[in-house]
Each structure stands twice: as structure tokens, then as C-alpha cells.
Amino acid sequence: MSQRIPCTVITGFLGAGKTTLIQSLLTTNGGRRIALIVNEFGDIGVDGDLIRSCGIAGCSDDDVIELANGCICCTVADDFLPTLTKLLERRDPPDHIVIETSGLALPQPLLQAFAWPEVRTRVTIDGVITVVDAEALAAGRFAHDEGAVARQRAADENLDHDSALAELFEDQLSCADLVVLNKTDLIDETELVRAEDLVRSQKRAAAKIIRSGTQKPPADILLGLAIAAEEDLANRRSHHHDHDHDDGHDDHHHDDHHHDDHDHDAFETFIVPVAPLAEADEITRRVAALTTDSTVLRVKGTLAITGKPMRLVVQAVGPRVETHYDRPWRADETKDGHVVVICLAGADSAAMTRTLQGTAG
């Protein structure tokens, strides 16, 4: 039997910096042929598009596969396993597979899939990497708008979103082999130590912590861990563990993982079409106005700016809004701008749409 292909799972909360880490990984991959499976929580895979357009040699359309039909841990049988199998059946299979999960995905159901008959003799989990926003964590939050979420929860005793986010964060840490404490350049040493202590209190004892600021860790640190995490599932327990997943043997039915195993009903995703804008600052103003809403978790998208040949990318987590031009519009593309909003359930999507389209009264 040929050697099993190593797979790296990169997880972490919304806006922690997973995509940026992967882009850096691709530039330092040492000649490895890497395939990417990107799970975008929404109908349009913005993250996958950003990775494809990064201009890195070897990062072709065929090597980036998006799973945009829902959270990866809820669509293992329908989306992930067929995608992984297709990669393995290529005439020239990749040297390494990197899987970027949605910020809302539980890692454990994904890892359990590697024990299924279709793939267990052909791939191995090289390691699970959890990316953590050090700036937010040092402030006692999981994301930059966590304080706003807590205020909303306090105003409505029926909401339990804060607990759901806390459990998700703990699950991602309890599954990690390596924790990348990201955005360390944005905080001082005292805050950094505080963030590290919080991670250390939640992670598995065997997991290592590395710091990441402006300079991202190279591929040689992130890849080649050789953990074989699929052999260690019992030590990677979840708050939302379902006994249906206990063994992952041949008799495991593909419909065993139900979507209600964890609290994705606490989140919603919707897409707002945005017409070409006269200037880039306009979308910055609109998104900044949107992020004052305590229900908004993440905003990201691509826009057309009148008279500009380049596509504008906008991303926001909490109050921080970032924009940059990533590549020229292709000749076969229509300049249709869109923004993806990830928010808490029950948010006023109509009002948010008016804000992003500039029609709010």
C-alpha cells in the first residue's frame, strides 16, 4: 500500500486569521504540491476566492476546492468525503491536503470522518491547527465584538449565544495539536501572556502554542507534524459529542451526524449584492456602520470600484474594517459586488442590507 497522504486541518473562530495563515503557508511550502479544501459558511466562498487569487505559484483553481453548502462538520457525508475521495483519485494526487474549516465548525466530526472506510487507508491527519485571535482573547473575548454579544444576551434571557461561542472555542482548542496565537503584534507582552494563559487552560496538554504576528510561521512548522490524530479521537472530546460517532467503524451510517448536534441555529449567513461604488472609502463607511450592530459577527466580500480595474476586498471583524485590491477583474467576469454577513440568529437582515447598499434612511 502506498504511503498515506497527510492532511492538516486548520480551524479557529471567525476572523482569527486562518486564510492569511494559509496564504503564508503556500508561499513557504518548500515545493510540496498542496491541495486546499475551503469550507465557507455561506453560499459564496469568499475565502476560497481570496486564496485562489493570491498569485502564488502552484495555487491553481484545480487545487482549491470549496465546500459552500453549509458547515463542514454537518455535511461530512454529502460534501467532504466525496471531495476528499476525488482528490485521492487524481492521477497526480497532492503531496499534502490542507482543510480550512468554517469558523463555526466543530473539528471532532471532521476528524471522525478520517476513520471511515472510504479514506482511512489512504490519508492521515498530520495535525489539527487552531488559530486564535490573541488581541480579542487578551481582552476576554473570542472575537472583537464579543462584548456586544454579551450585552445582547444580558438584554434577553432567552439567548444563550455567549455560552455557545464559549463551548465552540473550547472544542476547537481541545482538538488542537498546535495552537497559533495570532495577531500578537497588536498587544503588549502582559496582554500576550494573559492570552497564552487562557489558551493553556483550555488546550490539550500535548498541544503546543506558537506566537504569530506580522510574520507568519512557515510551512515547515505547520506541516509535517505526523500526529495521526485519527488514532487519538478519544482524547479530543467535544461539548457536543454524539455517541453515534464513538467508533467510526465500517457500520457507521452517513446520515448519523444530524445538523442539530450543536448550536448553528445561533448563527445566520446572508449575501448582499452591492453595485459598483465611486470610491473604496464608501464601503468602509457602510461596513463600519454595520458593525456597530451587536448581532454582526463577520463581514467580508468583493466589490467593484468605478474606473478601477482591480477587485476590492473588504473584511471586518468587530469594529476593525480592512480593504485592499487583490487582483484585476477577469475578462469573463461581470463586476458584481457582494458582501457576506455572518450574524447571530434573528438579526435584522433587511436593515443590514439597506446599510450595505447605501439606501438606509
pLDDT along the chain (361 residues), means of 10: 83 81 84 80 54 52 55 53 80 87 76 79 92 89 51 34 65 91 93 92 89 87 88 74 42 39 58 93 93 79 92 81 88 88 82 92 65
SS3 sequence, 99-111? EECCCCCCHHHHH
**Per-residue CA distances from 130 to 114, 179, 199, 251, 311 (Å):** 18, 5, 11, 30, 30
State residue 282's pLDDT score: 94
Instruction: Tell me the C-alpha distance between 42 and 299, whole Å.
Output: 11
Q: Count the Cβ atoms, other than its own, within 10 Å of residue 265.
A: 10
Here the cell at position 303 is 466589490
State residue 111's pLDDT score: 84
Q: Is 61 helix (H, G, I), strand (E, B) or coil?
A: helix
Give Cβ neighbours of residue 227 (< 8 Å, ≥ 6 apart). 125, 126, 127, 128, 177
State residue 56's pLDDT score: 47
